[in-house]
């Protein structure tokens, strides 16, 4: 899977650990950087790349994960889930078809974050599942706003 990663300077160490984990799982990784203190910039860059189909999924990190998830979700076609526990990491894909995840470097430990990333990447959305109509409605709402 092709993955795009980005973060603000506060989350650079967690991003490095997550990139190493993704690579150890056999994924192709691109690092969009961590130098810009305006987390919305890198989150939007990753979100655009994912929404445009250049990458299969994206991972963005800031202090809490909240800011990058909000910024990413402003990009049409980017569906970023803030994850902090194993169940949410799995359901981000299975129930919500999230093509991006966000995590907080100051709220999630490195080893936990690696597990969450692995769980997120291990799942595939089934549009014929009971969540299919729910996810379709989210996409419709997005289209109505444009």
By annotation, the residues acting in catalysis are 62
Supply the DSSP string of 66-86, one letter for each residue: HHHHHHHTTSTT--EEE--SH
Q: Which residues pair with 7 in a beta bridge?
A: 61
Establish how many alpha carbons lie within 13 A of residue 100's alpha carbon, considering only the half-sphere containing its beta carbon.
Answer: 38
Pairing of β 100-104 and β 2-7? unpaired
Which sign does the torsion angle of CA 80, 89, 65, 137 carry? Answer: positive
CA distance linking residue 126 with residue 6, whole number of Å: 27
């Amino acid at each position: 899977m092709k993955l795009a990663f980005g973060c603000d300077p506060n989350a650079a160490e967690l991003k490095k650990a997550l990139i190493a984990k993704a690579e150890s799982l056999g994924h192709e990784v691109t690092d969009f950087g961590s130098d810009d203190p305006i987390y919305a910039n890198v989150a939007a860059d990753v979100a655009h790349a994912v929404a445009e189909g250049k990458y299969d999924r994206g991972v963005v990190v800031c202090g809490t994960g909240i800011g990058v998830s909000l910024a990413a979700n402003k990009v049409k076609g980017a569906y970023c889930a803030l994850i902090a526990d194993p169940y949410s990491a799995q359901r981000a894909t299975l129930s919500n078809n999230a093509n991006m995840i966000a995590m907080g470097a100051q709220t999630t430990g490195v080893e936990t974050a690696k597990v969450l990333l692995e769980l997120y990447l291990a799942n595939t959305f089934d549009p014929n599942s009971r969540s299919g109509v729910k996810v379709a409605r989210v996409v419709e709402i997005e289209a109505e706003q444009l």
